[in-house]
Amino acid sequence: MIVMKFGGSSVANAERIRHVASIIQAYKESRPIVVLSAMGDTTDHLLEAADLAVKGKVDIAKIEDLHFKTAKELDIQVPAIAELLDELKTLLTGISMLRELTKRTRDYLVSFGERMSVRMMAAYLNKLGTEARHYDAWDIGMVSDSNYMSAELLDEVWQEIPRHLNSYKNGTDKAIPIITGFIAKDKKGIITTLGRGGSDLSATMIGSALGAEEIQTWKDVDGILTADPRIVAEAHTVPEVTYEEAQELAMFGSQVLHPRSMIPCRKTGTPVRVKNSYNIKSPGSIIVEEHHSARPQVTAITTVKNVTLIDIQSSRMLGASGFLAHIFNQFLKWEISIDVIATSEVSVSLTVNGNKDLGGLLEDLGRVAEVRAKKGKAIVTIICDAGHSSSILADVFASLKNEGINVQMISQGASKVNISMLVENADADRTVKILHSALFK
C-alpha cells in the first residue's frame, strides 16, 4: 500500500486530472490511497468570494465555471459538486448578511475546494472503470483541535485512520480512497484546516498510521534537486535525503515538504518519495531516517530572499542574566519567528521574515539595547554534513572571495546538517550558482 499526494496545480483542470488519473491507474497494483488539494486557484477564489461577501456581494462565478467546465470536459456527472456549490452560496449569503468572517467560518469556507476536488477525481476514475470512492477527511478519522486556520491533529487519529480504512487495507474493499487533504473536524464536528503544509501533513499522517510502504508527493520536478533549477541550470536530483535534511531544506526555501508534515513519518520511519508527475518512470528522491548509502558532504543549496537582519547590542545588559531571555520574550510577544541567529559577547544578530511589521518589536527591544534593522537580505543555506564544515567553508569563502561577494553573517545549525549565511538580496542567486559550482565538482 502507498499514499499518493497531489497538489492543486496537479489537478488544476480537466487535462491535469486526466493525467493524474493515469498515474493513479499506473500504480493500481500498489494499492494507492490518494490525497488531493483543491483544484488550481480554487482556494484563492474562495477567499476572494469571502472578501466580496463581507462587503455584501455573493459571487461564486469563478468557482462554478471551473468545476462545471471541468466536469463537462471530463464527460462526468457530479451532482455532489452542485450540492456543495449550493451549500457554499448559502454560507456566503450568511457572511454577506453579517458582514463578518471569523476564523471558524473561514475554515468552513475554504474546505469546499478539497471537497469538490475529491468528488471530481473519484467520479472520473469510476468513469474510466477504476473503482474509487471519495472521502472527506473526517470520514476516515481525521480529528483535530479547535485552533481554526492552524489546527493540529489529535493523537487519536493514529487509531481512527486504520479503523476507518481497515477494509481497504485488508483488501475486502477494492475502491481506491480519494481523500481531502488540508482539512479535518474538531471534537464538536466543526470543520478545521491544518494550516501551512496541511495537505502534506494529511498524506504523511495517513501513510504513517496505516504503515504504508511509502508516501509519494508528486511535483513537477524529478524529486529534490541540488538547487533551484531556475537558478542553477545544471542542478541534479538528490537520490536520498534524511528527514532532518528535508526539514532544513523546507525551512530555508526549498519546496519539498513542510517541516511539520515530517513528524508522523519520523515517528514510524515511513519513507517519503518525491516524484515527478511529468516523468513517472523517474525514481525521484526518497526521504528516510538515515542514509543507506555513503552520506555526501553537500546535499543541496537553497535560498530565502527578502529577510531582515536585526542587530542588537547593549553595553548595559550584555552578559547580564536574562538578557537573551528578554530578547526572545519580545519576539514571542509580537509573534515573530527567528530564522537564523548568531551571538557574540557584544552583540546578537538574527534574521526574520522581511514582510513582517517590526515597528512594535523594534520599539520594545530599543528600551534595553541599541537596535538596527537592515532589510533586503537573503539567507543562503548549504545542507551538508557539518562534520566536514572546515573543508566546506574553505571552498565557500574561497569561491565567494574570488567573485567579490561579502558574507554578512554565518550560522551553523544545531542539527549539524546546515550552514547558513547572509548576503544581499541582489547577490542571492549568484551566490547559489557560485557555491553550486564550487561544491558539486
pLDDT at position 441, please?
75
Which pLDDT value is given to residue 74?
A: 98
Give pLDDT tens digits for 9-53.
999 999 999 999 999 999 999 999 999 999 999 999 999 999 999
pLDDT in tens, 292-323: 888 889 999 999 999 999 999 876 655 566 77
Q: Given this model, what pLDDT does residue 27 score?
A: 96
Q: CA-CA distances (angstroms) from residue 15 to 10, 28, 45, 196, 406? A: 9, 20, 20, 27, 47
C-alpha cell at position 112? 469546499
3-state class of 186 per DSSP? strand
pLDDT for the residue 372: 94
Strand partners, 373: 310
CA–CA distance, 245 with 300 (Å, rounded to integer): 9
To which residue does cell 567579490 refer?
404
Tell me what pLDDT residue 414 has.
Answer: 67
Q: Which long-range contacts (CB under 8 A, 24 or more apart) does 322-325 make?
A: 323/368, 324/348
pLDDT one digit per residue (tens) for the chain, 441 residues: 999 999 999 999 999 999 999 999 999 999 999 999 999 999 999 999 999 999 999 999 999 999 999 999 999 999 999 999 999 999 999 999 999 999 999 999 999 999 999 999 999 999 999 999 999 999 999 999 999 999 999 999 999 999 999 999 999 999 999 999 999 999 999 999 998 889 999 999 999 999 999 999 998 888 899 999 999 999 999 999 999 998 888 877 677 778 889 899 999 999 999 999 888 888 999 999 998 888 889 999 999 999 999 999 876 655 566 778 888 999 999 999 999 998 876 688 999 988 889 999 999 999 888 999 999 999 999 999 888 888 999 999 999 999 999 999 998 866 678 899 999 999 999 999 999 999 997
pLDDT number for residue 400? 95
Distance between CA atoms of residues 250 and 42, nearest Å: 24
290, three cell numbers? 538515515
Where do runs of H (alpha helix) occur along 154-282? 157-169, 198-210, 243-251, 262-268
DSSP string, 58-113: ---HHHHHHHHHHHHHHT---HHHHHHHHHHHHHHHHHHHHT---HHHHHHHHHHH
Residues in CB range of 394: below 8 A, 6 or more apart? none
